[in-house]
Structure 1
Amino acid sequence: MKKALIYSFLVVFVACTSNKKIQKAQKEINKTTVVQQTVVQKPLVVAIKSRYLLKDSSNVKVFMELDIENLKKDKFIEQLNDNFRFNFLVQSDYGVRDRIASGKIDITNQNTWLKDGKLLLSFEIPRPKNIPKALLLTEVFQLEDSKKSNNDLVIDFNGTRLNDRFGVFVGNFSIPVFRNYINKKDSFQLKSVENHPRELFLLRYKNDFTPAQSPMATSVRNGIDRGLEPEEIIKVNSNTNINLKTEGLYLAVEDTTNTKNGFGILVVDDRFPRLTRPENLVKPLVYMSTSQEMRAVNENENAKQALDKFFLGVTGGNQMISKKIIKNYYHRIEEANRLFTTYKEGWKTDKGMVYTVLGPPNKVQRSRDREVWMYSQNLNFSEIIFTFNRKPNQFTENYYELVRYPEYQAYWYPFVEAWRTGNVVD
């Protein structure tokens, strides 16, 4: 809560002739009235994530993670109920105005938590009959200004994939994680809503996927190698603690002979989503370097020295600008990892590449299998539109590939040059 102090000095000049009146006037002159004005910061919704687990034949449990600013730890339930209304609507699909189910989401101490600066909540919706998939729309309505924050989530009521029924739970917390990665230090469990015991398997693969190609690339490589072979198979049980000390891509499955319906977990070092080791920091330079510069970076066995040479080279030896670029660029990389990690690190994905270079889009439009990012027109360019098509694979259903065009070159290179000259403000 921010406080602004406005000091108002009230000085009263009194013309006095007697000593008594002079003393009285002096007291008035020396009197200072301090008026304290408290600026009350209302809670504000910044971002929403959601996921679900099928509970039983009649219910689905939905979990939400919200970034809401200005919540007090000791009064957040009261603040939420005073400032917001939470509602849900289930409809057949995007653009279809039907109503399969709807209702109000109650905010109580039993279903709402504040953890690590995030608001976490859970609620149940009815599981409709004879409907294989549907769209869940959740709305956070701000009472003061009628602002709405929405989230969309496609639910497969048939429970085709393992992660429709089992989630990753870190520690003893009752809400599954919303990310696709686990730090090596984390102990986790694979659990269903009703804690059904189940023997499961984790297949470990090498995590050596390449970064995204430029938006102008004419020949695009496949998103994932279909011929991947696991390096290790680990048998685990649901509801029991799992500790994985080897980094890599793990596929959780019910049957090792059928890997189509499992889900991926990327096990990363404990600093992720931040990149801090020089050998990891050099790789994202691919988005702001020439092929010749990248070749020089890769040929230098000393990663720290390669980083220093690269940034001092593009800035003409200006250390101040180099530090500014490094700070802003790797903050973008961290955010890309946090937002877009799937079967590979977020910065390597098509979304992560665009986010790193151009920043967050001004507007996003979603459908069942497509996402469109729009960057508003300004003095330097007209509106830029990036279209991402959903490309499911054995590790995730939420991987998207960019539709590439040579015409992006006119927009892309000026943004890259802005990074190289230190003119991007993160």
Structure 2
Amino acid sequence: MMITIKTLNLKLLTALTLMILGSWTATAQSNLKNINQNLRYSRYSRISPKIIPIKTGERSFKLQMPVEKIEENANFEDYAFSYVIVKDFNEEINEKNIVPLTTDKLKSDTDRHFYFEETVTIPERQEMAFAVIICKDTRQGDQYVYHADLISPFITDIPSFGGYYANGIPFDQNYINKGEALLFKSDKTLNLYSYYYPMEFEIPLPPMETRPAPTPKDIRVVDNGNFLINVPQPFDDNGYYFIQADTTEQSGFMVKTTSDAFPNVADYQEMVDMLVYISTRSEHEALREASDKKKALDKYWLNLTKDTEKAQNIIREYFRQIEFANILFTDFKEGWKTDRGMIYTVMGPPTGVFFDADKEIWIYDKLGSNSKISFTFARIKNIFTPNYYKLNRSRSYQPEWFQSITLWRSGKMAF
């Protein structure tokens, strides 16, 4: 009888495992290169998974996998979670290499996160490695995918420490509001060093502008000294901080600090700055020079729409786009000031998002046409962030860009 029970349990376990692995949407040669990751940038996502690796050995990594709960009362049973390690963006992802993240692997379940943690070691001869988390909403089939470099030409190294919220969940945002604190932890005994960059950045040029963007001539750096691991560290000034365990190395942990209102608009002056994408040069200069910014903005919106209700709708939609751009694309710049944030604000969430090791491609349906338009963002190695992308600009973008701006100005753009 005992043998029969064990056999039945084994069959049940196998069936459950296959069901979970089967939740991966199998296509011909599914790989990181051809998976559409558009839900990463959707305004209607229910969850937001991340992978935050910590280096634990020469080729060993702790994969911290927090999954933010965006929908209210998120239920673990409504999702199938798994992860995989691949050697490049072309390696097939299938039931042979996917590892299920079942309830017993759930390290923490808080009001805001499901949290998994796994340790992996990359074989000696493997030149590159990428970790991928896959979360499938079993109710409607939506598939959330997020990947992170472990070993690649686009990262210098991965820190052996990380930043955490007070409840021990890894810091999974792109920014922190000024005055808040993070707890830094490591399996090693470390002193950490803090450097502060009080930088303000220019707004990016339009996508059809091919001349080089202005670059800061001087970068001011303030040495904030060292602090102990496992002691809450406050971030008191606007700008960004770079935390290192070894100042002779290039690896570190960047924290972007923002106003209390961020990712929303802080004040009327900031609102004026953000209208640069849909305003003419003369309109924007007039807004910047106005002594009463609120009055000038009210007049601006009414002049565009000739209708109070339309004005209210366009204000709500436009600054909702700014909010999402800030949440999704902030690095050492505010998200709306990045190339991806600019395109996202004006064009809306892309219908297609595809990655390769060296680029990210967004695809949109052309307005009033069956054809499509794509934006390619080249990935650039940067010590502060592994996710720094610059738009490959082209004069061919001009018609679609102006068409989208015209829709905004007429109050017809909505997502």
TM-score range, shorter chain: 0.7 to 0.9
User: Does the C-alpha gap of structure 1 residues 395 and 303 become closer, same or farther in structure 2, counting only changes over 3 Å?
Assistant: farther
CA contact (8 A) 1:161 1:263 kept: no
Matched, 1:312 2:302: yes
User: Does the C-alpha gap of structure 1 residues 145 and 176 become closer, same or farther in structure 2, counting only changes over 3 Å?
Assistant: closer
Aligned residue for 1:387, secondary structure, equals strand
User: Does the C-alpha gap of structure 1 residues 60 and 109 become closer, same or farther in structure 2, counting only changes over 3 Å?
Assistant: closer
Equivalent runs, 1:252-263 vs 2, <5 Å = 252-256=243-247, 258=248, 260-263=250-253
Equivalent runs, 1:159-238 vs 2, <5 Å = 163-171=158-166, 173-192=167-186, 194=187, 196-221=188-213, 225=216, 227-238=218-229
TM-score (norm 2): 0.80
* Structure with the greater alpha carbon radius of gyration: 1
In 1, the alpha carbon distance for the partners of 2:403 and 2:152 equals: 46
Deviation at 1:61, TM superposition (A): 1.9
Alignment counterpart, residue 243 of structure 1, candidates 212, 226, 234? 234
User: Does the C-alpha gap of structure 1 residues 147 and 337 become closer, same or farther in structure 2, counting only changes over 3 Å?
Assistant: closer
Counterpart in 2 of 1:156? 151
Unaligned runs of 5+ in 1: 1-43
Deviation at 1:230, TM superposition (A): 0.8
Deviation at 1:96, TM superposition (A): 3.2
Unaligned runs of 5+ in 2: 1-44
Q: CA RMSD in A?
A: 3.0
CA contact (8 A) 1:45 1:149 kept: no
Aligned residue for 1:201, secondary structure, equals strand
Deviation at 1:181, TM superposition (A): 1.1
In 1, the alpha carbon distance for the partners of 2:268 and 2:249 equals: 35
Alignment counterpart, residue 314 of structure 2, candidates 310, 313, 325? 325
Counterpart in 1 of 2:132? 137
Q: Which has the higher contact order (CA 8 A, sep 6+)?
A: 2
Counterpart in 2 of 1:345? 334
Counterpart in 2 of 1:277? 267
Deviation at 1:336, TM superposition (A): 0.4
Letter of the structure 2 residue corresponding to residue 397 of structure 1: P
Equivalent runs, 1:6-85 vs 2, <5 Å = 46-56=47-57, 59-66=60-67, 72=73, 76-77=75-76, 79-80=77-78, 84=80
Deviation at 1:62, TM superposition (A): 1.6
User: Does the C-alpha gap of structure 1 residues 332 and 407 become closer, same or farther in structure 2, counting only changes over 3 Å?
Assistant: same
User: Does the C-alpha gap of structure 1 residues 312 and 245 become closer, same or farther in structure 2, counting only changes over 3 Å?
Assistant: same
Equivalent runs, 1:370-409 vs 2, <5 Å = 370-377=359-366, 379-380=368-369, 382-409=371-398
Counterpart in 2 of 1:27? none
In 1, the alpha carbon distance for the partners of 2:246 and 2:59 equals: 26
Counterpart in 2 of 1:111? 107
User: Does the C-alpha gap of structure 1 residues 313 and 259 become closer, same or farther in structure 2, counting only changes over 3 Å?
Assistant: farther
CA contact (8 A) 1:170 1:186 kept: no
Letter of the structure 1 residue corresponding to residue 212 of structure 2: V
CA contact (8 A) 1:54 1:61 kept: yes
CA contact (8 A) 2:360 2:377 kept: yes
Letter of the structure 1 residue corresponding to residue 254 of structure 2: G
Counterpart in 1 of 2:13? none
Aligned residue for 1:246, secondary structure, equals coil
Aligned residue for 1:111, secondary structure, equals strand
Alignment counterpart, residue 119 of structure 2, candidates 111, 115, 124? 124
Cα deviations by residue, 1:101-141 (Å, 9 ceiling, x for unpaired): 6532232375141433x433333333433435302233335
Deviation at 1:221, TM superposition (A): 1.5
User: Does the C-alpha gap of structure 1 residues 340 and 271 become closer, same or farther in structure 2, counting only changes over 3 Å?
Assistant: same
Deviation at 1:302, TM superposition (A): 3.3
